[in-house]
Amino acid sequence: MSSLNTLNVSIPEETRLGWQRMLELLNDTLKAKSIFIACNIEQRIEVLCIASSGNYDSRTTQAIQESQHNSSSHNATGNTTVGYIEALDLTEATINLPIAWPSGEVFGHIYVISDSFNEQFKHNSMLLDSFKISVENQLFLISTLHRLKNNNNHLKNCNSEHSLRISNLNQSLNQEKDRRLAAEQQLVYQKSYDPATGFLNKQTLEHETEKLLNEVEYSKGKLVGVMHMHFTNGTTIESQYGYTVWDKLLVEFRRRLEKHNELEVITARPVTNELVFVWKMQDDTRDLKALSSELIETSRSTFVIDNNTIHLNCCIGASTTKDTNDARQLLSFAAAAMSSCQKSKQNFHRYSDSLSNVNRYMEQQEAYLLQAVRDKNISIYFQPKVCPIQRKWIGAEALLRWQHPNLGNISNENLIHLAEQNGLIYEVGSFVLHSAIEIAAEWSKSIKQFKMSVNVSPLQLQCPRFVEQIKQLLSKHSLAPENLELELTEGSLIADEIVAKATLVELKKLGVTLSLDDFGTGYASFNYLKKFPFDVIKIDKSFIENIERDVTDREIVTSIIHVAKKLQLAVTVEGIETVQQENFIIDQGCEIGQGFLYGKPMSLEEFESKLLSRKKISAQ
């Protein structure tokens, strides 16, 4: 068969309009500045079809619009075009996909102009490839029809063969139409649903919530409820196991929610690590309790995805039409309740006006802290750690303090919590470590075996450079590792046990003392003693407060100290405020005490003054 002169082949208007519709659907999903099909003809670019975002006003679109007024409606080959652009530089294009005739000769290109490859590009890159294949399939059909037309005289003598080819061609055309229709339906689906899980996306969530509100408006006693769920360890799971495992995990999580299925709850995925549930109800107290309990219990269950055993941590916020009848506000209230829940380290919060006031107060505190950190207006106080038998000061715990003119005195725990919420924990944590190690190095020059204790946030422990930071600070200030003690809570370990264990093992090799703080207040304190290389356990003050009157507290403390001795671990007891409490821990063989009986947290100047006074007395 003779070669085909593609310059003489025209693109049917129906085909071009089909490409135009597909481009518009593609751009609805990809949100690019512009997507268009263009051919190069005699140093001019012939744009066959284009889809652009409404706010995109680049020179490409402007040139195309101007060319529509200046050029004829048909090119040299009879194609109906959008217009010509003289020698246009298309280096702005983010994606450039070549389109070829069946012979391999270049027909043109699919250009995509966008600011960046966003999440939509990652999920929908296959759609561009599918569109390219569809265009090339149609070019094949067009070229075949052209060949058949050119060879019509020859085919008159082969009428049956000609009829068969026409029949096959018609069949191919029908199949291609079906494939194009399926692609269009897929694009419409992805405009409304998260492609990875099949849940509603953020845009459709608000629309469906509005529909439910309209339905219950005329239904007596009916309400609409919203629960916004955030997976606090979602980012860690996603980075550790990959996007596919995380998507499968969310689908499996939703499958296990039986009560949600009974109440026909709508599920949406507005962002990667969050799910939103919307449903109609009559008894808000009953339904919120039942559904929130199911979410929490299911998140605590074990999931096995692609041979990976995974657990979830979550916080949930809820709102109902008792709070507002506006769809956008209803969703916003649930998100605000979730945010408050996350900040308070709880599992569930229901929206209320008072909760909104608390959120505003927390936001104000965070803004003040940000300014304080930048202006270096936070300080470190020190509380002595004492050998109870001799009442000798053998160490100190570094505690953050922040005196604000409006908020008053902010304690160590509240400061760390605020810093974790607004992303300042690395800066605040580094400030405490640097200051405490520098001061401990000065003290170690005159006082031997004096240990400085520093609290470590869960976020600090997850930082890949944390061990290296400790090494550098110890080296910089010439402090021996055994003079530094790092105190960690169970929360530091739960976030990611694998990372936590690897970090603690490296710190142990370095020679730093590791202490498990607030021992006895968590779910698995004794289990962590087996898993992690701790040197010290610090018994929480809640067990000491009533030890003079409560037999149970005395038995608990006695048991903890006994187990620690068996495991060759040192014991620190905090909250010692009376001589009777001191006598009790001495009788139990406790090595270290801490509390107001020995001294409240004090400034550096006051602590150093008392420390030096004690040194002089002991030297006499």
Q: What is the C-alpha to C-alpha distance for residues 557 and 541, in angstroms, rounded to an integer?
A: 10
Q: What is the C-alpha to C-alpha distance for residues 560 and 539, in angstroms, rounded to an integer?
A: 8
Q: Are 60 and 86 in contact (CB under 8 A)?
A: no
Tokens of 137: 């399939």
Torsion angles phi and psi, residue 231, rounded to 5: -95, 110
Is position 172 within any domain? Answer: no
DSSP element (H, E) containing 230: strand 223-231
Torsion angles phi and psi, residue 41, rounded to 5: -135, 110
Identify residue 103 by its one-letter amino acid code.
S
The answer on 245 and 375 residing in a single domain is no
CATH number assigned to the domain comprising residue 450 = 3.20.20.450
More confident: 523 or 229: 229
Q: What is the pLDDT of residues 181-223, one digit of tens each?
A: 777 776 766 778 888 898 999 888 998 999 999 888 767 778 9
At 273 the pLDDT is 93
Q: Are 279 and 224 in contact (CB under 8 A)?
A: yes
- DSSP class of 483: G
The answer on 597 and 451 residing in a single domain is yes
If phi over 0 gives left and psi between -120 and 50 gives alpha, with beta otherwise, what is residue 307?
Answer: left
The DSSP code sequence of 441-482 is HHHHTTSTT-EEEEE--HHHHH-TTHHHHHHHHHHHHT--GG
The answer on 245 and 132 residing in a single domain is no
Per the structure, the complete domain to which residue 234 belongs is given by 202-351
Q: Are 213 and 325 in contact (CB under 8 A)?
A: yes
Least Cα distance to 137 among 175, 165, 96 occurs for 175
Is position 64 within any domain? Answer: no
pLDDT at 84 over 90: no
Contacts of 206 (CB under 8 A, 6+ apart): 327, 328, 331
CATH number assigned to the domain comprising residue 341 = 3.30.70.270
Q: Quick one: pLDDT band at residue 368, thresholds 50, 70, 90? A: confident
The answer on 381 and 337 residing in a single domain is no
The answer on 307 and 385 residing in a single domain is no
Q: What is the C-alpha to C-alpha distance for residues 617 and 610, in angstroms, rounded to an integer?
A: 11
96-100, 216-220, 340-344, 417-421: least confident range? 417-421
**Domain count for the chain:** 3
The answer on 412 and 333 residing in a single domain is no
Q: For 543, how many CA atoms within 13 A lie in the half-sphere containing its CB?
A: 23
Residue 345 CB coordination number (10 Å): 11
Q: What is the pLDDT of residues 24-58, one digit of tens each?
A: 888 887 777 888 898 876 667 788 888 887 655 44
The answer on 479 and 425 residing in a single domain is yes
Q: What is the C-alpha to C-alpha distance for residues 225 and 333, in angstroms, rounded to an integer?
A: 11
The answer on 385 and 466 residing in a single domain is yes
The answer on 367 and 292 residing in a single domain is no
Q: For 13, how many CA atoms within 13 A lie in the half-sphere containing its CB?
A: 5
The answer on 553 and 447 residing in a single domain is yes
What is the radius of gyration, based on Cα positions, of the chain? 35
Pairing of strands 513-519, 536-539: parallel
Least Cα distance to 268 among 258, 283, 279 occurs for 279
Q: What is the pLDDT of residues 220-241, one digit of tens each?
A: 778 999 999 999 888 889 888 9
Q: What is the pLDDT of residues 439-493, one digit of tens each?
A: 999 999 888 889 999 998 888 888 889 999 999 999 999 999 999 999 988 776 7
